[in-house]
Structure 1
Amino acid sequence: MNVHTKIKSGKQSVWDDETKRKMGEMWNNGQSAGRISAKFGVSRNVVIGLAMRNPDLFTPKGKGAPKYARWGGRKPQPKQPGEARAKPLHNNVGHKVRDMNNTRRSRMEAVQREAEKFRSGTSPLLEIAPDDVHRLTKGKELKDLGAHECHWVLNNDGPFLYCAEATGGPVYCDHHAARVYRVRESWER
């Protein structure tokens, strides 16, 4: 195999002008790219490529139905100057927008209430568990922990203290492992 073959640098069109003209006539008469490709024995993409490269022979087809018609909606009313835009009654899924906004608003209010509790220090997430209060005296910082000592964080503010009891498993002591890894109760049918 000769890898050093010279490639001709001139671009020659595979399609002669007569074939392009016939394809253009079929395209302009409303024939689909699939039908044109079947008649000339080429792929559909070849026909579309020729149509894009030769807009003088292939008149551009419309972009299709407007968005509101594709989704079964009706044409939006033109906005009058100074008038507020009308809100849609339904979202794309079909739910009423009013209900969706109320749900979103209530979720946002709940998140804001929880964030305020967290900032003020009254959130239950910041409380130390009663079982861990007596372990605080024996707690160690992370840099002082050994390989087989419990890595459960006991407090919520720095410096963080870890349980440091002997582990029954890879990371936690038996007490904290029971809190993390719950055993599934048998399912009754």
Structure 2
Amino acid sequence: MTIQHRTVDIEAASKLWKEVLSASQIAKRFGVSRNVIVGIAFRNRAFFPSKPRACNCRPHESKRAPRKDKTAMRDRKPGTIIIPSHKYDLERLPFAKRLLELRPGECSWPINDGSPFLFCAAKTAGKYCQHHQSRAIAVHRIMKREK
């Protein structure tokens, strides 16, 4: 096959492929790019059998460590201010909604810290209801004092 004014012998390339040479190594021998060899191998799949995938090089570490539960927010940054749960939040829990269920004019204050996140959903004119707005301002003042 002639590509970029160079000839690549498909049978010779497939023989090198079967000898477990990489596409880059074959490309160097023919003076073409790796993508040319990959394209030829793709178009002539009968001559280029699929290579076995590399197995895990570390068999003693084959099992992954369990993932940390990010939805519960257990690993917070050290400088993060954690706003404790409030009695009002517990009262709002039966009326709470998920983020996708919130409509405009409903409070978007998260009232739990687990999966799934639930939001206050009380009627409001802004982003938060009156109670959560006052709590947000109080936290903002605390942060200003600490700086």
Same fold (TM over 0.5): no
Q: Which structure is larger by alpha-carbon Rg, 1 or 2? A: 1
Q: Which structure is richer in relative contact order (CA contacts within 8 A, separation 6 or more)?
A: 2
